[in-house]
């Protein structure tokens, strides 16, 4: 695997961007992330994925501004199409994902974090989509995913003004789920991942997929799809194990079947 993406595999798998000092998004890093996600998709033993960055300066500070001059026109479109495809792959992973934002998440870095189901930020981290300050716009999902998380009006304010938020401000508007003490973002994400990993994996995956339908289907269709998912869950051996463990007053031993 490329050194630009470091992976720690296991039931809780950690993806670490490693392009110091700012973990900038390059075409090479995006390809490496794509290959990593392909491996994760094929591993049914993974219960939760944590995405983080190397170092103390940035989770990911977005694209390399030095590349802008060579990305005019169709070349830039190609880079963005690649990022959209890879980020979509992250967003559509069957298992839950957590962004452990140990330092600043700006531009494409925040767009990457927005693809995760949950976000934990170090209290010293800064978050934002400041692209308009450079005469460009968010092009890897920011204009679509941020409104779905914080609402259209707030997303317009943040994107059109290029504002950068503190972790506390991000938590206040729901952009971040939890704020960690300095240096503890990854550990907090791991604790959340361990809780998720202890739950019924089939139920967790079905619940994630059902929630993700909210912005794409009508309420009636969503309820029908929820019922279908519930039927699959109630046909599983995990459901029987959960009920048995409840009556025996012990922790369940889920297998995902």
The DSSP secondary-structure symbol of 68 reads: G
CATH class of 200-247: mainly alpha
Q: What is the pLDDT of residue 68?
A: 66
Rg of the chain's alpha carbons, rounded to an integer?
A: 19
Query: In the CATH scheme, what architecture does the domain 5-197 have?
Result: Alpha-Beta Complex (3.90)
- Cα separation of 146 and 156, whole Å? 9
Closest CA to 147 of 137, 135, 157, 134: 157
Task: Give the domain ranges of the chain.
Answer: 5-197, 200-247
Q: Is 216 a residue whose pLDDT tops 70? A: yes
Q: Catalytic residue among 56, 111, 163, 194, which?
A: 111
83: annotated active-site residue: no
Closest CA to 114 of 86, 81, 142: 142
Q: What is the pLDDT of residue 13?
A: 97
pLDDT band per the 50, 70, 90 thresholds, residue 190: very high
Q: Which residues have C-beta within 8 Å of that of residue 173, sequence separation ≥ 6?
A: 150, 154, 165
Answer yes or no: are the C-beta atoms of 50 and 12 closer than 8 Å. yes
Closest CA to 146 of 173, 186, 180: 173
Tens digit of each residue's pLDDT (9 = 90 or more) over 29-75: 999 999 999 999 999 899 999 999 999 999 999 887 776 666 666 65
Q: Catalytic residue among 56, 131, 163, 226, which?
A: 131
- Cα separation of 48 and 68, whole Å? 35
Q: What is the 3-state secondary structure (H, E, C) of 131-170?
A: HHHHCCCCCCCHHHHHHHHHCHHHHHHHHHHCCEEEHHHH
pTM: 0.92
> By percentage, how much of the chain surpasses pLDDT 70?
95
226: annotated active-site residue: no
Tens digit of each residue's pLDDT (9 = 90 or more) over 128-186: 999 999 898 998 999 999 999 999 999 999 999 999 999 999 999 999 999 999 999 99
- Strand, helix or coil for residue 123: coil
Q: What is the pLDDT of residue 76?
A: 62
Q: What is the pLDDT of residue 71?
A: 67
């Amino acid at each position: 695997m490329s050194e630009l993406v470091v992976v720690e595999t296991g039931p809780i798998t950690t993806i670490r961007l490693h392009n110091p000092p700012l973990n900038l998004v390059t075409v090479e890093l995006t390809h490496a992330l794509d290959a990593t996600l392909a491996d994760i998709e094929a591993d049914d033993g993974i219960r939760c994925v944590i995405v983080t960055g190397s170092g103390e300066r940035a989770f990911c500070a977005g694209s390399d501004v030095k590349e802008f001059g060579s990305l005019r026109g169709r070349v830039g479109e190609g880079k963005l199409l690649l990022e959209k495809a890879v980020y979509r792959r992250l967003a559509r992973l069957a298992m839950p994902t957590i962004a452990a934002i140990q330092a600043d998440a700006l531009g494409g870095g925040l767009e990457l974090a927005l693809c995760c189901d949950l976000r934990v930020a170090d209290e010293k981290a800064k978050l934002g989509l400041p692209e308009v300050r450079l005469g460009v716009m968010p092009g890897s999902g920011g204009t679509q995913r941020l409104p779905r998380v914080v609402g259209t009006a707030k997303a317009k304010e943040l994107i059109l003004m290029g504002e950068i938020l503190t972790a506390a401000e991000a938590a206040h508007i729901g952009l971040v789920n939890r704020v960690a003490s300095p240096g503890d973002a990854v550990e907090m994400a791991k604790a959340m991942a361990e809780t998720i990993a202890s739950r019924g994996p089939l139920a967790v995956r079905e619940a994630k997929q059902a929630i993700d339908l909210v912005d794409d289907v009508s309420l009636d269709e969503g309820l029908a799809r929820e019922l279908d998912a519930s039927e699959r869950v109630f046909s599983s051996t995990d459901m029987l194990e959960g009920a048995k463990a409840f009556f025996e007053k012990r922790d369940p031993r889920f297998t995902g079947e």
